[in-house]
Copies of this chain bind each other. A is one copy, B any other.
Amino acid sequence: MGADNPQERLDKKWIVGFVDGEGCFHVAINQQHKMTIGWQVLPELRVVQHKRDRQVLERMRKTLNVGVVRVNNKDRLELRVRKLSELNYIVTFFEKHPLMTTKHQNFILFKKIILAMNEKKHLTRDGLTEIAKIAAKMNRKVRSRYLESSETIRQTRST
């Protein structure tokens, strides 16, 4: 295996090391009026690289058989995985080949959300609140617009 064989699959442990360095597990909860519940849960795994390293993102995509390679920002590309079926594979993959950095703790929270979504919890108000609370612990504890929305606060108070 070498940097000069762009067709070759990547070693799985290499992928774990690279995601430990460059990957990001993220869950957005966005207002979405088209949906019955009014909010959409959007989990994703993203690996960003300068466009000069497109081949390595393509090889990751090919090796894991998930995601799309697309423009991230200016000279940057990303491998992005968003489909729930593919994220289930990602969960299985990183359970089998654990992350070595503290990103592992983030992954554990991410996995809880994916499992909850498999059970369609994101489509109920209680399930969504549960997911939002987990998501709020991830990624430097970004405040959850969903949890802060007056509607949710009202609902939480009344239960």
Q: Which of B52, B59, B102, B105 contacts A100 (CB 8 A)?
A: B59
Q: Which among A3, A22, A104 has the greatest number of chain B C-beta atoms within 10 A?
A: A3
Interface string of A50-81 (1 = CB under 8 A from B): 00110010010000000000000000000000
Residue numbers in B under 8 Å from A99 (CB-CB): 3
Residue numbers in B under 8 Å from A20 (CB-CB): 14, 17-18, 21, 56
Q: Is A98 an interface residue (CB 8 A)?
A: yes
Q: Is A13 an interface residue (CB 8 A)?
A: yes
CB distance from A20 to the nearest CB of B (A): 6
Residue numbers in B under 8 Å from A22 (CB-CB): 21-22
Q: Are A10 and B52 in contact (CB under 8 A)?
A: no
Q: Are A3 and B53 in contact (CB under 8 A)?
A: no
Across the interface, name the chain B residue whose C-beta is closest to A23: B21
Q: Is A88 an interface residue (CB 8 A)?
A: no
**Can you identify 27 A-B contacts, CB atoms within 8 angstroms?**
A1-B98, A1-B100, A2-B104, A3-B99, A3-B100, A3-B104, A3-B105, A12-B13, A13-B14, A13-B17, A14-B16, A14-B17, A14-B20, A14-B100, A15-B17, A16-B17, A17-B17, A17-B18, A17-B20, A18-B18, A18-B20, A18-B100, A20-B21, A22-B22, A53-B102, A56-B100, A59-B100
Chain A residues engaging chain B, CB cutoff 8 angstroms: 1-3, 10-22, 49, 52-53, 56, 59, 98-102, 104-105
